[in-house]
Copies of this chain bind each other. A is one copy, B any other.
Amino acid sequence: MKKIGIIGGTGYTGGELARLLCRHPDVEIASMTSRKDAGRRVSDVHSYLYGYADLEFTEKVSDDVDLVFVATPHGVAMNEVPSLLSSGIKCIDLSGDYRMHDVPTYEKWYGHTHTDVENLRDAVYGLPELFRDNIKGADLVANPGCYATATILACAPLMKSGLVGSDIFVDAKSGTSGAGMNPSARTHHPTCGESILPYGVGTHRHTPEIEMAVQMYSGIKPDVLFVPNLLPIVRGILSSCYFTLKDGVEPEDVESIYADTYANEPFVHAVPDPTIRAVVGSNHAQVGLKAFGNKVVAFSVLDNLVKGASGQAVQCMNLMMGFDETAGLDFPGLGV
């Protein structure tokens, strides 16, 4: 049993990591930190972990762990990761700190200086279906954003096919748990509970992440207008991606791209009608597309807290540690 630490255990992704790791056959949760809840029992804070997480939150992560998940707000991980790596502890960062390989791009979209440029350059982008081999050998993995995961899974294969133009409109819809546990005007129920709220249009930080990862996979830099929307549900993302077929390409030419790309994947499935409820609670994602004339709409769904965050992080851990890739994640979505 390998020992695992979680930095930032109070938040949604930290709790979700515990929900998944407590049933993982190859690891134990040795340490969970929380600035706010240090000294409290984990299951008193997260009552759903009663019987599954028999430890207390601490201020600092213990140093006898083999791997640490950093589940903190943006800007924290870059202060924690260098010393962890120096101590020989592998790291998976669930924040945006290590996602952008290009420092100026990072600083432009995140609005401040990056203080760990060296590790930024070596960090591996943790999307297993596209970059599995890189993840296997990595000491530091940047876990992708939730919107980014959904969108990249839909866009990368189409872009790689060479059959669509590089202009992409992405109309993405997310459950509110993607906003994290801190209350805000936008996630206040009277504001969002009976509406759908576009926000961060053209300025959301997943935009350059999507463009970077799609280019890494396909060799082609897309030009993405990314429009996120807050949905009145708790878990789940639907990313609807709009493409134009190149001249001479017919709708039927793109129909089997997803089935071909993801045929052997345990967690990503080509289906006729991707449905959020089919994947909620699980690490599975579904993709599907429909083409008419010269236009394509591709749909991608996942649970933002699982395949869009903590589940994908566990999947990356499995690859980094040499476990079965599906260990601790091999169960279906709720369906209903």
Contacts and interface: CB of A to CB of B under 8 A. Distances in A.
Contacts of A181: 188, 190
Contact of A23 (B19, B177, B281, B331): B331
Q: Name the interface size band of chain A.
A: 35 or more
B292 A202 contact: yes
Interface in A268-293: 269, 271, 273, 275-282, 284, 286, 290, 292-293
Contacts of A16: 335-336
A82 interface: no
Interface stretch (A44-52, A68-76, A96-104): A44-52
A244 interface: yes
Given A47-B286, A169-B242, A225-B297, A188 B198 contact: no
Given A16-B335, A335-B16, A225 B242 contact: yes
Oligomeric state, in number of copies? 4
Interface string A18-41: 010011000000000000000000
B189 A193 contact: yes
B335 A48 contact: yes
A270 B247 CA distance: 36
A299 interface: yes
A54 interface: no
A177 B336 contact: yes
A227 interface: yes
B238 A292 contact: no
A208 to B, nearest CB: 13
B232 A189 contact: yes
A269 B167 CA distance: 30
Among A225, A229, A266, the one with the most B-chain Cβ atoms within 10 Å of its Cβ is: A225
Contact of A176 (B179, B189, B282, B335): B189
10 contacts: A19-B335, A48-B333, A183-B184, A183-B187, A194-B280, A225-B242, A225-B295, A234-B277, A281-B334, A305-B336
Instruction: Please list the 3 inter-chain residue pairs (A to B) with the smallest Cβ-Cβ separation, ordered nearest first.
Output: A48-B335, A183-B183, A176-B189
